[in-house]
Amino acid sequence: QVELVESGGGLVQAGGSLRLSCVFSGRTFTTYGMGWFRQAPRREREFVASISWHGTGTTYTDSVRGRFTISRDNAKTTVYLQMNSLKPEDSALYYCAARQGVVRARPDEYDYWGQGTQVTVSS
């Protein structure tokens, strides 16, 4: 069974930065593509970014491209989301997710989820 544990969320002022981490355990990390999603109150869970198992393929939603960077360290079985130039509209509960094979952008295409880490950006 895969376990995902996120950390790194918090309260930050607009324009600031945060780095989220997600530690993967339970299976072979390098066979899983990883994604970050977020969900704000009264909104659906939305795709933020994904990274292929080998780390060379990344995808971003338009609203974060150029500000957020997803990366992974396969030796540490950890995926990161570096978030810069944060905006109040980035406030949400951020989840990491894992799926075997090619990464996707739909939440229902991921097999495993973490519990989430809260990001709040004040104006």
Q: Is the pLDDT of residue 51 over 90?
A: yes
Q: pLDDT per residue over 53-84, tens digit each?
A: 888 899 999 999 999 999 999 999 999 999 99
Tens digit of each residue's pLDDT (9 = 90 or more) over 9-32 = 999 999 999 999 999 999 999 999
What b/e readout covers 5-28, taking b as 16+ CB neighbours within 10 angstroms?
Answer: ebebbeebeeeeebebbbbbeebe
Name the phi and psi angles at 89, rounded to 5: -70, -5
For the chain, helix, strand, coil in percent to 5 are 5, 50, 40
Q: What per-residue confidence (pLDDT) applies to 111?
A: 94
Query: Given this model, what pLDDT does residue 99 score?
Result: 95
